[in-house]
Amino acid sequence: TSLITTGYPLDGSAGAGGIFQAATTSTFGLGNNDRNNKIGDTFIAEIFAHNPAQGVFCGTYTGTGSAGLKLTTGFPGGMLITLQTQGATRIADIKTGTSSHILANTVGNTEVAGSVASFDSDGFTLDSNGLNISAETYLYIAIADPALF
């Protein structure tokens, strides 16, 4: 199990530097690391569970660099949060539409051009932009459009 916001394994293995420790199916512990446990700082843990019946789909995909890559979730797409394993966290949602998305790990959460090509009745279709870089691996959380789910 991995946290999509960091890409680090919950058990502190595989080079995570002890960021997360003692994970169970319902809890996780924090290591002694300023990235997520600095004395005096406030942190928020956003935890998502893969549950398509309730409108949450978690998975991975490899970018093609070409428009048309389909992410099938089984429900109408409303929000897509992606994490490139080597970089950016991006958020696209049906309210913002197909013209832009948020680059979430920048100062000010920069809005950038391009987004998903379409929000579909069974997921999302990606365009050829930062959400779909050729050969890049992405972790993602897809959330259903609440107006249609």
pLDDT of residue 21: 67
Q: Average of pLDDT values for 48-63? A: 91
Confidence of residue 20 (pLDDT cuts 50, 70, 90): low
Per-chain mean pLDDT for the chain: 81
Measure the CA–CA gap between 126 and 121, rounded to whole angstroms. Answer: 14
Q: Can you say whether residue 130 is alpha, beta or left, with left for phi > 0 and alpha for psi between -120 and 50 degrees?
A: alpha
pLDDT, position 111: 83
Distance of CA 16 to the CA centre of its chain: 18
The burial class, CB within 10 Å (0-12 / 13-18 / 19+), for 128 is: middle
| Whether the predicted model's global pTM rises above the 0.85 cut | no
List the one residue out of 145, 93, 96, 86 whose CA is nearest residue 121: 145
For the purposes of burial, counting CB atoms within 10 Å of the CB of 20, is it exposed (0-12), middle (13-18) or buried (19 or more)? buried
Characterize the bridge pairing of strands 56-62 and 123-126.
Answer: unpaired
Q: Across the chain, how many H-helices and E-strands are there?
A: 1, 11
Q: Distances in Å between the alpha carbon of 47 and those of 2, 28, 133?
A: 10, 10, 26
Bigger pLDDT: 14 vs 87: 87
